[in-house]
Amino acid sequence: MSIALKAEKISKYFYTPEKFKVLSDVSFEVQTGEFVSVVGKSGSGKSTMLYILSTMDTDYTGNLILNDQQITGRSVNKLAAFRNEHLGFVFQFHYLLPDFTCLQNVMIPALRLKKLSAAEIEHNAYEKLKTLGLEDQALKTASRISGGQQQRVAIARALINEPAIIMGDEPTGNLDSKNTEVVFDIFKQLAAEHNKTIITVTHDNDFAAKSDRIIEMKDGIIISHDRKPHEL
Amino acid sequence: MKAGINTRIAYTYMVSKVKSTLVAALGVTFGIGMFIFMNSLITGTNEYSEKTMLSATPHIRLYNDNKISNTDMLNRYLGDRTINLISNPQLVPQDNRIFNPDAVAAVLRKRKEVIALSTQVTANIIYSKGNVQENGTIFGVNIAEQDKMFDISSNMIAGKTQSVADNPNNILIGIGLAQKLNLKMGDYVRITTSTGLTKTLQVSGIFKTTIKNVDETKTYVSLPVVQQLLQKDRAYITDIYVNVKNYSLATETGNSMAQQTGYTSESWQQSNEQSLAGKKIRDIIANAVIFTILLVAGFGIYNILNMVIYEKIKEIAILKATGFQGSDVVSIFIQQALLIGLVGSAMGLVVGWFTSYLLSKLYLGLGNVTYLPMTFLSKHYIQGAIFGLLTSFFAGYIPASKASKVDPVSIIRG
Ligand SMILES: Nc1ncnc2c1ncn2[C@@H]1O[C@H](COP(=O)(O)OP(=O)(O)OP(=O)(O)O)[C@@H](O)[C@H]1O
Ligand SMILES: [Mg+2]
């Protein structure tokens, strides 16, 4: 099995209001096709770590390798291009562009990547929405659909460029139990059937328990990242 | 090929704010409209005043100026064994004639830029009828040459220019002088020179130019009449007037003619410096007004973009999170600014044309200015559109580069 993510001694400080070490020497690996949940008390540094892993935050020490590519030390523009092609994000809030239709929202990252023609992208986006059960909402404006639907559109957007790694920061935080289950099943399927790597922060213990592996954080350090017995 | 994603986002952001977009675009519209109108009017005014100047002044006047005394003669007789100086040199009064005028004229006519040439003698005199007297200048001319240069024929309200050439007792006078001395066609007017010589002439034509002063003082007679009055020979010529193809280069051409002939040249620009200063001042005022309006228009665009960026900051963050680079964000908002500028400029062209058209129909009736002098030059419209887009670009650049520096992490984690 190849390694999708390798974090080596990642440390980060915040300087306001006072100097404070939010992450200290965080090291771990994630295999390709693994579905990992990150849990821990509020304020333990989960989001901070995820934004570093997502390449958006570059203000840290240590080393990060994603998809066998050296990430630490790359220029901002190169990181943006890497995210565009290889990473997908889902946040607690959907962050769709409300002036565009659902279909257009899903297409935007692919139009940025410019690997396919607009017609092909539209076709793919429509397919993604279909697998998420949203084909009827495709042409509605993103601000005119329900919260659960919006979150699923956001997932479709995260998947449009067929990224190898998908990261989520409490992607089900705003959803009811039924929609949470839908999102979980999508992630599970992506990992199991499409060999995608999923790393998601969650406060939902059931959600975490059903994933392949749980990484638990406390005060900026990882206190356990055991594989569950049945996975080994 | 469909528009790129950045353009599509820019367009969507623009139409999502129709009202503020229109307000910002209207700022550009007024700026460009004003730019076009002001330039059309000023060019019109400049052309008008240039035409007025050139109706009375030749492009180039060549004459024999008084020279300041120099050491040439001393050097010739005393040699260079001594250093010869003249303390307090004076202007040497001399016969201000052009020597051998036919030869000089022939030399000048050989130059290919010369389109008209006229030789003449002028004299300051007093016109009188009964006991009423008026000062003025009498021009002894070859009327055919002079007519070719100033188109006197088109200004005639009575009589013919040719009459002066036909009869040496005929005189052409201006409408102003005719009124002051109550002269009608066929009346006699007496001319007195500064040396006291007099002559009586018959009015054979009355002209009306665009300049009041000319109409009140200038008269034309045939050349020999003035030569006689001044008690000079038939070869006595004081001025050579020359019109050239490119009259904006009159000063340079005049200088070269002066060098060639040894006489002094004066271009129409040099003799009308006062009016040309007026033109400069008009240009400065117009540019200040236009600059101010465009600045305000720029602020309008700056403002709406700042507003959009403030509202869409989360969307900018998510675009960056999904791989849009700083340059993409700049491109989105610059394009939005340019779209607003494009709409505003397009409307500005129409508004500018319409305003110019309406005001060109405005009756003034002051002196010879009947209607507001207006030009319709495509140059002004092209410049206007370019200025509109440039303003939009710079107004958009500041907020756009600010937006490109948004840190997605700090926005998304809230
Ligand atoms: N921009 C910041 N400046 C200073 N301190 C910060 C900043 N962002 C977060 N922190 C602090 O860093 C610590 C870790 O924050 P982080 O958001 O990573 O926690 P978290 O584990 O995601 O918590 P939650 O489960 O509530 O989302 C917290 O103590 C928080 O107060
Ligand atoms: Mg968090």
Coarse DSSP helix, strand, coil percentages of chain B, rounded to the nearest 5 percent: 60, 20, 20
Distance CA A90, CA A165 (A): 11
Domain check: are B290 and B251 in the same one?
Answer: no
Q: Which residues contact B297 (CB under 8 A, 6 or more apart)?
A: B24, B27, B28, B30, B31, B344, B388, B391, B395
Distance CA A63, CA A26 (A): 10
How much is the CA Rg of chain A, to the nearest whole Å?
A: 17
Does A44 sit in the ligand 1 pocket, CB within 6 Å? yes
Identify which of B5, B321, B328 has the shortest CB distance to residue A56: B321
Q: Which of B12, B314, B318 to mutate to test binding with chain A, by most A CBs within 10 Å of its CB? A: B318
Tell me how many degrees the CA angle B296-B298-B304 measures, rounded to the nearest 5: 105
Smallest Cα distance from B405 to chain A, Å: 11
User: In this predicted model, what pLDDT tens digit does every residue of A63-89 receive, in sequence order?
Assistant: 999 999 999 999 999 999 999 999 999
Q: With contact defined as beta carbons under 8 Å apart, do B122 and B239 qualify?
A: yes
Is the pLDDT at B364 greater than 90? The verdict is: no
Q: Is B332 helix (H, G, I), strand (E, B) or coil?
A: helix
Domain check: are B382 and B307 in the same one?
Answer: yes
Q: Report how many domains make up chain B.
A: 2
Distance CA A162, CA A124 (A): 10
Identify which of A77, A80, A99 has the shortest CB distance to residue B12: A99
pLDDT of residue B79: 74
Domain boundaries, position B189? 60-73+89-268
pLDDT of residue B51: 83
pLDDT of residue A4: 93
Span A118-139, average pLDDT: 92
End-to-end CA distance of chain A: give it in Å, rounded. 13
Distance CA B17, CA B14 (A): 6
Q: Which domains does chain A have, with CATH numbers?
A: 3-231 (3.40.50.300)
Q: Is the dihedral of CA B244, B249, B254, B259 positive or negative?
A: negative
* Residue whose C-alpha is closest to residue B116's, from B124, B108, B104: B108
Is the pLDDT at B334 greater than 90? The verdict is: yes
pLDDT of residue A220: 92
Q: Is the dihedral of CA A84, A90, A93, A94 positive or negative?
A: positive
Q: With contact defined as beta carbons under 8 Å apart, do B97 and B226 qualify?
A: no
Domain-embedded: residue B364:
yes
Q: With contact defined as beta carbons under 8 Å apart, do A216 and A186 qualify?
A: no
Is the pLDDT at A229 greater than 50? The verdict is: no
User: In this predicted model, what pLDDT tens digit does every residue of A200-220 receive, in sequence order?
Assistant: 999 999 999 999 999 999 999
pLDDT band of B348, cuts 50, 70, 90: very high
Which tokens go with A111?
């139009």
Gap from CA of A200 to ligand 2 centroid (Å): 11
Q: Whose CA is nearest to atom 14 of ligand 1?
A: A45
pLDDT of residue A231: 44
Domain-embedded: residue B80:
no
* Residue whose C-alpha is closest to residue A153's, from A176, A135, A177, A175: A135
Q: Could you count the other beta carbons within 10 Å of the beta carbon of residue A17? A: 6
Domain check: are B95 and B22 in the same one?
Answer: no
pLDDT of residue B127: 92
pLDDT of residue B65: 81
Smallest Cα distance from B311 to chain A, Å: 11
Domain check: are B262 and B282 in the same one?
Answer: no
Task: Answer yes or no: do B314 and A95 touch at CB < 8 A.
Answer: yes
Domain-embedded: residue B79:
no
Domain-embedded: residue B78:
no
Domain check: are B17 and B96 in the same one?
Answer: no
Domain check: are B195 and B307 in the same one?
Answer: no
pLDDT of residue A179: 83
Span B407-413, average pLDDT: 87
Q: With contact defined as beta carbons under 8 Å apart, do B388 and B31 qualify?
A: yes
Domain check: are B193 and B300 in the same one?
Answer: no
Tell me if the pTM is above 0.80. Answer: no
Q: What is the ipTM of this complex?
A: 0.90
* Mean pLDDT score across all residues of chain A: 91
Q: Could you count the other beta carbons within 10 Å of the beta carbon of residue B167? A: 12
pLDDT of residue B328: 93
User: In this predicted model, what pLDDT tens digit does every residue of B206-233 receive, in sequence order?
Assistant: 998 878 888 899 999 998 989 888 888 8
- DSSP tag of B218: E
Domain-embedded: residue B310:
yes
Gap from CA of A219 to ligand 1 centroid (Å): 10
Last-in-domain residue among B231, B250, B268: B268
Domain check: are B295 and B401 in the same one?
Answer: yes
Span B235-257, average pLDDT: 88
Domain check: are B279 and B210 in the same one?
Answer: no
Which chain B residues have a beta carbon less than 8 Å from that of A100? 12
Which chain B residues have a beta carbon less than 8 Å from that of A51? 409, 412-413
Last-in-domain residue among B228, B245, B268: B268
Domain check: are B108 and B245 in the same one?
Answer: yes
Last-in-domain residue among B268, B287, B322: B268
Q: β-strands B114-129, B369-371: how paired?
A: unpaired
**Ligand 1 pocket mutation, candidates A11, A14, A24, A39, criterion most atoms within 8 A of CB:** A14
Domain check: are B121 and B155 in the same one?
Answer: yes
Task: Answer yes or no: do B318 and A97 touch at CB < 8 A.
Answer: yes
* Residue whose C-alpha is closest to residue B301's, from B331, B349, B336: B336
Q: Which residues contact B260 (CB under 8 A, 6 or more apart)?
A: B107, B108
Identify which of B8, B9, B322 has the shortest CB distance to residue A83: B322
pLDDT of residue A27: 94
Task: Answer yes or no: do A84 and B323 touch at CB < 8 A.
Answer: yes
User: In this predicted model, what pLDDT tens digit does every residue of B96-143 receive, in sequence order?
Assistant: 788 888 888 888 888 888 888 998 898 889 999 888 889 999 999 988
Does A16 sit in the ligand 1 pocket, CB within 6 Å? yes
Does A45 sit in the ligand 1 pocket, CB within 6 Å? yes
* Dihedral in degrees, nearest 10, Cα atoms B349, B350, B354, B356: 10
* Residue whose C-alpha is closest to residue B42's, from B318, B283, B381, B317: B283
Is the pLDDT at B1 greater than 50? The verdict is: no
Q: Is B323 helix (H, G, I), strand (E, B) or coil?
A: coil
Which tokens go with B333?
């908002």
If one compares B147 and B75, the residue with the highest pLDDT of the two is B147
Q: Which residues contact B112 (CB under 8 A, 6 or more apart)?
A: none
Distance CA B312, CA B300 (A): 18
Domain check: are B152 and B14 in the same one?
Answer: no
Domain-embedded: residue B402:
yes
Smallest Cα distance from B341 to chain A, Å: 22
**Ligand 1 pocket mutation, candidates A10, A48, A49, criterion most atoms within 8 A of CB:** A48
Domain-embedded: residue B83:
no
Task: Answer yes or no: do A111 and B4 touch at CB < 8 A.
Answer: yes
Domain-embedded: residue B242:
yes
